[in-house]
Amino acid sequence: MNALIEGLTTPLPLFQHIQTDDVLPALDAELEKQRQCLNTLVKVKQPSWLNIMQPLEMMDESLSRIWGPVSHLNSVCDSDALREVYQQGVQKISAWNTELAQNEALFAAIRCIAEENQDLNGEQRAVLAHSIRDFRLSGSDLKGEEKNRFKTIRLRLSELATTFEQHVLDATRAFTVLVEDESELFGLPESAVAGSAQRAKAENKQGWLFTLDIPSYLPVMQYADKRDLREKMYTAFVSRASSGDLDNTQVIDELLALRKEQAQLLGFESYSAYSIAAKMADTCDEVVDFLNELAEKAKPMAIQELQDLRQFAAEYLALDDVQAWDMPYVSEKLRLHTYAISQEELKPYFPEKSVVSGMFALVEKLYGIVIRQAETEVWHDDVRYFEVFDAQNEKIAAFYLDPYARTHKRGGAWMDECVVRWQKPNGDLQLPVAYLVCNFDAPIGDKPALWTHDEVMTLFHEFGHGLHHILTQVKTRGVSGINGVPWDAVELPSQFMENFCWEREVLDLFAKHHETGETIPDDLFARMTAAKNFQSGIQMLRQLEFSLFDFRLHREYEPLSDMSVQDFLNQIREEVAVFIPPTFNKFQNSFSHIFAGGYAAGYYSYKWAEVLSADVYAAFEEEGVLNTKTAARFIDCILSMGGSRSMMDGFVRFRERKPNVDALLRHTGIV
């Protein structure tokens, strides 16, 4: 039995039966079928939606059923054996995607369908428009040697992205600190000490083991009184993948050179111009002006925040030379001093069970749905599976939740599609299924998992992505859920959800002390909200630094010039940042978002979408945070439409005007 092939006919992947040896045989067999199908399609004399586009949707569905679970397992259950076949599979997938995207006969058939004004609905027309655009962006209009070169570049870029991410993962895993003297743990919260002891025990070591995974790394940086420990952890974290066999420096250089060449083959001046061809933003200047405007508004506040931090460090901590590894520590002390509140004080009010059930209660109330846990095959014992029902008790979707950090699991948090909603050729409606993955602390012994407020917001963020995927009403696969949504708008639903984590009536649904069951006391809530915009200027500038570095690097950087990527980053920092990190900080070498993910020349999307989401949430503030009519309008205008309509059109329908930055600046306290 090959569980991947069997999974083509089952509602969900057969995770408990998938073997590494299944991967390449299943993929090879599927790709052979795809090529045979393509050969049939390009011979069609009178192209139509039924004889071209519908078979293409079936091909997309089949390939995603084979490769989707493999890609997912590579992220959540990494192993040397799986990694090896995954790398080979990535190359096969990339080659096929390039072959498909550059097939001139198929491109001509799709253009014919679009141009003949056949009897098509709006969803189908959107798919055709996206397809034609993507064909052109994939080099279909190229000829001869240029076309071959474009194909070679795409394959190499895929290989380099995989190498980059694996270097980061390996570098993260390679570093640990074993503390054997308990006095070095002074300042750390009890949960961090217990977690590090549990990690040491799992490795058969005596003492307390710390890693560069965020649940382990961040408490050290925020709370450890031992400055040497903070410096050691910081140095390792910011220099990941910057030396030895795992050095990503040359990978970055080659990526940038190939991306620029790829864009110029298609007639674009830069990779940034190529990138925004499929986004909401119209021009590169529009993006840079947008980022610079926010930076100009945030910088005065950030300068004052840094001055306050240094003054506090000198007066209260006898620290006159604040270094990069001191910033989170001093900031947390300053937060506690100013607002008498810390993330650790809030953690008892955010036990996992209450947070998850409360988040479900919120969306059930807003959107008229019901969420129930169910049983199915999962990839790890920590994973749970939930089904979603509408007001008529009809099942409409499902999702997996994998909340805890563990070895062999990629860091960070994300949502991905497992199954896409669409109406199959036989008339059956396939329901959407999502993966929701986080890296939070797991329960320790008989104590429940307690999460920080920041982690709660991360969970809400990813669930916002999940809702975008599972609440779609679209029946055409190519624009269903998150498919076809511009990259600089896809973060709107996720960032929108974060706002609810600051509302008292929402927090009372789930923020309950794990021992007493009491909601957050009024004085604690007042301190929490007062501290909401603590150092918001510094935080905004940090994100704008990343965004400008990414976008301008892909727009302006000359790979063969005397200026290195590090020099370019230093230049951006001089223009934007108020605190310059040490020279050994090689942040870019682990910036997976832009060098291994989908955010190349698109990291600005977070801020772009944050403006949209803040403006959307302002409507809820005006009409009622839990107003179900507003929520229904939000579903209709934004969440349900996938990529079938322009996101700007959907926004304007919802707000009855175009977006502006006012709500974001107000929410962050900058104005």
User: What is the set of active-site residues?
Assistant: 462
> Which residues have C-beta within 8 Å of that of residue 277, sequence separation ≥ 6?
133, 137, 268
Q: How far apart are CA 41 and CA 57, in angstroms?
A: 12
Is the separation of the CB atoms in 379 and 15 below 8 Å? yes
Whether the CB-CB separation of 347 and 450 falls below 8 Å is answered with yes
Taking the C-alpha atoms of residue 367 and residue 206, their distance in angstroms, rounded to an integer, is 50
Tell me how far apart the alpha carbons of residues 637 and 137 are, in angstroms, rounded to a whole number: 28
Distances (CA, A) of 123 to 49, 55, 116, 181, 244: 12, 16, 17, 63, 50
- Torsion-angle region of 642 (φ positive above 0: left; ψ -120 to 50: alpha; else: beta): left
**DSSP alpha helix (H) spans, 531-627:** 536-556, 565-576, 592-595, 605-623
Structure tokens at 608: 């772009």
Joined tokens for residue 304 = 């004052």
Query: What kind and span of H or E run contains 399?
Result: strand 395-404
User: Taking Cα atoms as reference points, which of 139, 133, 46 lies closest to residue 99?
Assistant: 139
Q: Tokens in use for 130? A: 């996206």
Q: Given phi > 0 = left and psi -120 to 50 = alpha, else beta, which region is 267?
A: left
Contact 451, 441 (CB under 8 A): yes
Element of type H or E holding 323:
none
C-alpha angle 59/386/9, rounded to 5°? 30
Residue 28 belongs to what H/E stretch? helix 20-41
What is the rounded distance in angstroms from the CA atom of residue 580 to the CA atom of residue 545? 11
